[in-house]
């Protein structure tokens, strides 16, 4: 299994500020993904974090709002920029090690924007 450390676990932020969420994996992984889960909803894929190149964003998500870094095979960050109350959600990092193997998920970041 892969051990994923996601930080912070929760935060309360003011409107207009930005928050960077970190995802650290205990071993090298092929793919890293960022998801959002709004209250009572399923998970929505934000983007695939590509090592050494720009992230690939899903429809409805843009780099200016959710910049992502992936400097190496074990680490990625997601920034939620210029936050509004609508950004209040749980943000989850997930990884897989091998092609078409199972995904592992971090414990999530509970974000509340006032």
Partner 1 sequence: DAKTTQPNSMESNEEEPVHLPCNHSTISGTDYIHWYRQLPSQGPEYVIHGLTSNVNNRMASLAIAEDRKSSTLILHRATLRDAAVYYCILRDRDDKIIFGKGTRLHILP
- Residues of the shown chain interacting with partner 1 in the complex, contacts defined by CB under 8 A: 30-31, 33, 35, 42-45, 48, 92, 94, 96, 99-100, 102-108
Q: How far is the CB of 80 from partner 1 (least distance, A)?
A: 18
Q: Which is nearer to partner 1, 20 or 58 (CB)?
A: 58
Nearest 5 degrees, angle CA 89-CA 8-CA 46? 45
Select from 85, 110, 83 the least CA-distant residue to 19.
Answer: 83
In contact, 83 and 17? CB cutoff 8 Å:
yes
| Residue 111, number of CB atoms within 10 A of its CB | 20
Q: How far is the CB of 42 from partner 1 (least distance, A)?
A: 5
Q: Which is nearer to partner 1, 44 or 79 (CB)?
A: 44
């Amino acid at each position: 299994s892969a051990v994923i450390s996601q930080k912070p676990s929760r935060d309360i932020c003011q409107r207009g500020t930005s928050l960077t969420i970190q995802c650290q994996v205990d071993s090298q992984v092929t793919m890293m993904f960022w998801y959002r889960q709004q209250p009572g909803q399923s998970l929505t894929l934000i983007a695939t974090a590509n090592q050494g190149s720009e992230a690939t964003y899903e429809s409805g998500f843009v780099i200016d709002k959710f910049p992502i870094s992936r400097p190496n095979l074990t680490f990625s960050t997601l920034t939620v920029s210029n936050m509004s109350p609508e950004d209040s959600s749980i943000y989850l990092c997930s990884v897989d090690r091998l092609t078409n193997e199972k995904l592992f998920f971090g414990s999530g970041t509970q974000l509340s924007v006032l």
